[in-house]
Amino acid sequence: MDELFKKALKFVLKWEGGYVNNPNDKGGATNKGITQYTYNNWLKTHGLQPRSVKFITDDEVEQIYYKNYWLAAGCDKMSPEFAILAFDTAVNMGLSRVKEFLEAAQWQYPEKFIAAREAKYKEFAKYGNQKIFLKGWLNRLNSLKEFIRNKS
């Protein structure tokens, strides 16, 4: 795994934290940003029995993020700036959003990618109990802007 991935992973883990099972979070139980559903699938593909995501190892976290998010989003084929933006977006919002925001950015304007992501957060905040997450989402996005300015 390359250095850029490791830097991007460090950023993601700073925001994803430890074990959480917030009833308002549509992702359900997560640990270090990995949902129980994703962990179960990963364990199954490795011939392992399901267990609580609470017990996921750092090595498993790194492998899942590399294969299921970094490579799946095509980050290994992008400029450093877009790779970091795409990876964090894939983790935080899902792989489908990466393509949507790359199109909004015309594959060349990081600021348009960030603006599209911010607009989507604000859209999410209009529904049900998701508004409670908006401040944290925007803080993460502002931190991401700083990170790509300094790391890419």
- pLDDT value of position 105: 94
- pLDDT value of position 128: 77
d(CA 25, CA 20): 9
Joined tokens for residue 123: 């859209």
Domains of the chain are 3-151 (1.20.141.10)
Block means of pLDDT (10 residues each) for the chain, 152 residues, are: 92 93 81 94 95 96 97 96 96 94 93 96 88 93 93 59
pTM: 0.91
- pLDDT value of position 71: 97
DSSP class of 20: B
Joined tokens for residue 53: 């995501």
d(CA 65, CA 84): 13
- pLDDT value of position 1: 66
Let me know: does 128 contact 143? Beta carbons within 8 Å.
no
